[in-house]
Structure 1
Amino acid sequence: MSDTPTRALVSVPKTARRGDIVDIRAMIAHPMETGYRMGPNGAAIPRRIITRFSCTYGGEEVFAAEFFPAVSANPFVSFSLVATESGTVAFAWTDETGETMTASAEIVVS
């Protein structure tokens, strides 16, 4: 996404009981440049935004969002899901160049 490494922070409970509603939070370090700001040299900073976020749980998409230039830098997403099985909660952010950053966390359901 840039010359510096992109960081993603995700919060998924380590354990839950089957049927529990759990809170999921995800944030990615990304400047979300709109293309309207001017750099120090007076030239416009090129547009670079995340356009899509998705989350899968047990291999199925459980949440997705489209982002637009009005979204702030370092976008934060929070949602809930029902814990049904142990497995991976996977996150993907895709920017308009097609580059995708991923992160994941495991949840154990008893």
Structure 2
Amino acid sequence: MAKKSMKIRAKEQGGVVTVKALITHPMETGQRKDSKTGETIPAHYIQEVTCKTGDTTVMSALFSGGVSKNPYVSFKYAGKKGDALTMSWSDNQGDSDSIEVKVG
């Protein structure tokens, strides 16, 4: 995917960082048919989402074709303001993206 596919916010309050992220992705199951051609739309979905701060993985999730288009991810972890947070994903067609933000 050529352009950035994620929007992410990470805010700390009382030693707890709340992360909210929106991932732009078609998330096709491989079971829908194109209404014009009648052909099956190939599966194209995120398989893994990982979030790290430094060398520590704070969140890891495995997705499948059952997740909706443009998935929203939210989670909390123990952290502090100013930490660098890196979120990345990879899909079943070999596409991937990552983004880094500072915890506010």
TM-score of the superposition, structure 2-length normalised?
0.87
Q: How far apart, in 1, do the equivalents of 2:72 and 2:17 lie?
A: 17
The alignment yields a C-alpha RMSD, in angstroms, of: 1.9
| 5+ long unaligned stretches in structure 2 | none
Query: Does residue 29 of the first structure (1) align with residue 24 of the second (2)?
Result: yes
Which amino acid letter does the alignment assign opposite residue 7 of structure 2? L
Equivalent pairs, count: 103
Displaced runs of 4 or more, over 4 A: none
From 68, 72, 93, the counterpart of 1:72? 68
Counterparts of 1:50-89 in structure 2 under 5 Å? Answer: 50-84=46-80, 86-89=82-85
- 1:102 to 1:59, Cα distance in 2 relative to 1, 3 A: same
Is contact 1:27–1:76 with CA below 8 Å preserved after alignment? yes
Is contact 2:10–2:18 with CA below 8 Å preserved after alignment? yes
Moved more, 4-13 or 94-103: 4-13
Is contact 1:51–1:94 with CA below 8 Å preserved after alignment? yes
Partner of 1:102: 98
| 5+ long unaligned stretches in structure 1 | none
Identity between Structure 1 and Structure 2 (%): 30
Which amino acid letter does the alignment assign opposite residue 55 of structure 1? C
Is contact 2:80–2:103 with CA below 8 Å preserved after alignment? no
Q: How far apart, in 2, do the equivalents of 1:38 and 1:5 lie?
A: 27
Query: Does residue 5 of the first structure (1) align with residue 3 of the second (2)?
Result: yes
From 15, 18, 23, the counterpart of 1:20? 15
Is contact 2:47–2:90 with CA below 8 Å preserved after alignment? yes
Is the partner of 1:102 in helix, strand or coil? strand
TM-score of the superposition, structure 1-length normalised?
0.83
